[in-house]
Amino acid sequence: SQQGEEDPQALSIQEGENATMNCSYKTSINNLQWYRQNSGRGLVHLILIRSNEREKHSGRLRVTLDTSKKSSSLLITASRAADTASYFCATDPLSNFGNEKLTFGTGTSLTIIP
Amino acid sequence: EAQVTQNPRYLITVTGKKLTVTCSQNMNHEYMSWYRQDPGLGLRQIYYSMNVEVTDKGDVPEGYKVSRKEKRNFPLILESPSPNQTSLYFCASSSWGTSQETQYFGPGTRLLVL
């Protein structure tokens, strides 16, 4: 079963608005990462947040992590048409010792309407 | 330019005809992995490799083989492809496991098994 589940599955907003997507996971983690995927292309790493961090910024991106609720959110501010893509969270479970792998969610499809 | 390359990008084959998808990275990364992406299921890990001659199963290894004879290459082998292996495949690499920073993804290989 998937460790991470993104919410919503799909999101459409006007250009310039902020977009928020959420990720929930089931087991304790070492870190959580967000990736972007343009249609049919490879994933691009956006940001990594470690379990002892609560918030992280990168340009127009802001990621929060609440380990007590086992959830994370990705906020994209002042959205642009180029932000249209699918966004995935990926978790590195704490139980991963000796079995290094990321577990991906099913993604949020974001559409920015010009 | 730091990158992960995959070949071929598109492949149509028939059931039972052995095929190999190549993956190569030029970043001297120890860790490499293969994922498949299917609608509604997100990315699922097939195999991963922590270093040369060290490989291990991911979540969906059935029907696949891998090898890691050189650090830069990590081919995915389908000995007898079946239609349920029709999917979009991604290779990824990182400098150390998944607890460290960025996973670099290849552009993807779209496989159709008839």
pLDDT digits (tens, 9 = 90+) for B50-94: 889 999 998 899 999 999 999 999 999 999 999 999 999 999 998
Of B40, B50, B107, the CB nearest to A42: B107
| CA–centroid distance for A18 within its chain | 15
Q: Which of B44, B99, B104 should be substituted to probe chain A, the one whose Cβ sees the most A Cβ atoms within 10 Å?
A: B99
What lies within 8 Å, CB to CB, of B85 at 6+ separation is B36, B63, B64, B78, B111, B113
**Binary contact (A42, B48; C-beta < 8 A):** no
Instruction: Give the pLDDT band (50/70/90) at residue B97.
Output: low
Q: Is the pLDDT of residue B100 over 60?
A: no
Between CA B42 and CA A4 the distance in angstroms is 10
* Per-residue model confidence (pLDDT) at position A57: 96
Q: Which of A39, A100, A108 should be substituted to probe chain B, the one whose Cβ sees the most B Cβ atoms within 10 Å?
A: A100
pLDDT digits (tens, 9 = 90+) for A15-52: 999 999 999 998 888 889 999 999 878 899 999 999 99
DSSP type of residue B73? B
